[in-house]
Structure 1
Amino acid sequence: MRRTKVVIILAMVLALAAFAVPQRIGYQGKLTDPGGVAVEGVVNIGFSIWNAETGGDSLWGELNSVDVTKGLFDVVLGVTNPVDVDFSGARWVQLIVDGELMTPRQPLSAVPSALHANMADYIIGQGSTSGAVTPVVPITSTATPVTLASVSYTSAGPGSGIQLSFAGTFDDKGGQDGAYVEVELVRNPGASEVVISSVSVSIYSPIVHQFQNVAINGHDTPPAGTHTYAVRARVAKEPYTSGRCIDGVLQLAEIKD
């Protein structure tokens, strides 16, 4: 079946060139056939970033096996090939779905350029930091969240904010029950913690081992001083307790409000 229509819902740079770690982009879209019927199932999608709407040069590329549900897909680009692209100019993304070129290319310039300006051009204080998930982290408890990665940062206080992002890969290989995981960004975990943002992830197949790319971001305006920021996860619903975080990077940048 030909899939000829791609509608871009959101394209967000989660980690920018200001960081000295692999850059990733959270990308969502909708895929339908020529009759407008939503595509279902796993499709192979080649993503590439270009410096022109037509012609031009390819700046980056990656092939992903993507789960499409009711036409919708959500993928983190840069997991296997870091997105080392300068977003200071206009950029477009091109898709090849199961060998078929999707046209026209979709603009990526608005959100990446805006975030690049905020997170790279206006960094104050100590600038930025990051923390990686290592080693593989099992997620087995509903009551006690497990920390996947954390960073310590000294904020400049009033007049600045903290931009956080996490991009990682989860699976259900911890057992045969599948995984239903809640992932959250937190300031100062403990009695006085502040949960900045959260997202739920469902991973389940009775037949095959499943992977799921997860992206979450948030903004915080802490008082001046040193704070601990963490990304953590817990089982959101029993008996789906087989989740693991395989890899991921927590990013932090201090920006002007």
Structure 2
Amino acid sequence: MADSSTPPRTAVVTGATSGIGRATALELARRGWRVYAAGRRAERLEQLAAQVRAEGLMGEVRPAPLDVTDAAAVGALADRVAAEGGADTLLNIAGGAQGVDAVADGDPSGWEWMFRVNVLGTLNACRAFLPLLRAHGEGTVLNLTSTAAIVAYEGGAGYNAAKMGAHGLTGALRLEEAEHNVRVVEVLPGMVHTEEFSKNRLGGDQSAADAVYAGVEKPLTAEDVAEVCVHAVELPHHVNLDQIVMRPVAQAAQHKVIRR
């Protein structure tokens, strides 16, 4: 946690309008960070900033409306952050899934959307912010992927492909940036019950989304994942948690979920 004698650590968090991204931005602010909260829905970012002010937290949230698939918009945010003092940490939380189609029935539009958001969105943010992280001297990139990045499953092919792409990007980035003293962390959550992920994936069908978690005792929450992300970036900089795989106890493996 920052104190009054030291400048606050500064993070850029993508996907901050809901779910894990929002929870991560909020937890960082509670710990005294200055947070640039990036996402498509400006009103939600303003609400998050207002909540931080209302709670009287040590940190600060600065809304940054943008779509991570818009490279120009991401670059403009990097210019803004540089002009306002720079940043030492980038948390690429933005992502998502569309559909549960098999490869034989794969919908290219859904697959393209997943690739743009999960892979190219991460690429855009890394390209824009790496110069700031290198200049800081002790920069950190945290990429949120998924257990879908390391274990394929039926109905998950498009999401598997996108998250495996982000996983590969992250591994290469770690090798490339070590010489610049930029550490690269990957967090790979399993079943996380958030308000939007499964509903969006299933075309807005709330009942189908509820069925995903039916009977599962204590799936992970957005706050659980946020706590792990914040812990990873607050460790002493020489400590790099390369890959953190986290699942609820009820999900013993990708294919084995205990339902009571």
Decide which structure has greater strand share: 1
TM-score w.r.t. length of structure 2 = 0.30
TM superposition score normalised by structure 1: 0.30
